[in-house]
Chain A
């Protein structure tokens, strides 16, 4: 059974700092998604990574995928308060269903 693990589970970081969220999964897949969720809200799609070595960037966020290592990273550059949210990675085993990670709750403070 596919397991998707994220770390850290909780991240408190100062504005302006850099940090990386890690997403490990247990079964080979080349389809990985990153989502953002604000409290009480739905999931906002951030990145779709569909091949080994894929790298995508949007603003202060950059996501990458290493299918051989079964690892994806979400890198935050020069964090700002507006990035405070919970971030989920999700893996699709070509079965058209997403298996979500545990989530990383990010809090950015001044």
Chain B
């Protein structure tokens, strides 16, 4: 039973570019949440998707957007990248909450 799968594992982008990160949830999970973890800090909630809709959102600008597909997989898009967007992006899946499974993350470096 596969856990949460994220791709790519690493990528480097230039300021102003756009990036798409992908997440496949654990089997049986229908909710996907995205977190940003800057170096040396705790993860911060970006947004959550359930039934293909954004259910709630953290304190992140509109440059951060997402999508959930009918198979529950999800994408995180970031436009107009800034140096400060460099971080580890974590995807967590859950079902009826109480337990979250995190993926291995995507390390984004903006230069």
* Chain A partners chain B: yes
A103 & B42 in contact (Cβ 8 Å cutoff): yes
A102 & B41 in contact (Cβ 8 Å cutoff): yes
Q: Please report the number of residue pairs spanning A and B whose Cβ atoms sit closer than 8 angstroms.
A: 57
> Does B71 sit at the interface, judged by CB under 8 A?
no
A interface residues, how many (CB within 8 angstroms): 24
> Does B102 sit at the interface, judged by CB under 8 A?
yes
B43 & A41 in contact (Cβ 8 Å cutoff): no
A97 & B42 in contact (Cβ 8 Å cutoff): no
> Does B25 sit at the interface, judged by CB under 8 A?
no
Q: Can you report 22 residue pairs joining A to B where beta carbons are below 8 Å apart?
A: A35-B102, A41-B104, A41-B105, A43-B43, A43-B90, A44-B102, A45-B99, A45-B101, A45-B102, A48-B98, A90-B43, A92-B97, A95-B56, A96-B31, A97-B48, A97-B58, A98-B35, A98-B43, A100-B42, A100-B43, A100-B44, A103-B42
Q: Apart from A88-B43, A95-B56, A96-B97, list 8 A-B contacts with CB within 8 A.
A: A42-B90, A45-B102, A90-B43, A96-B55, A97-B58, A98-B45, A99-B45, A100-B44
- Give the B-binding residues of A (Cβ under 8 A): 4, 31, 33, 35, 40-45, 48, 50, 88, 90, 92, 95-103
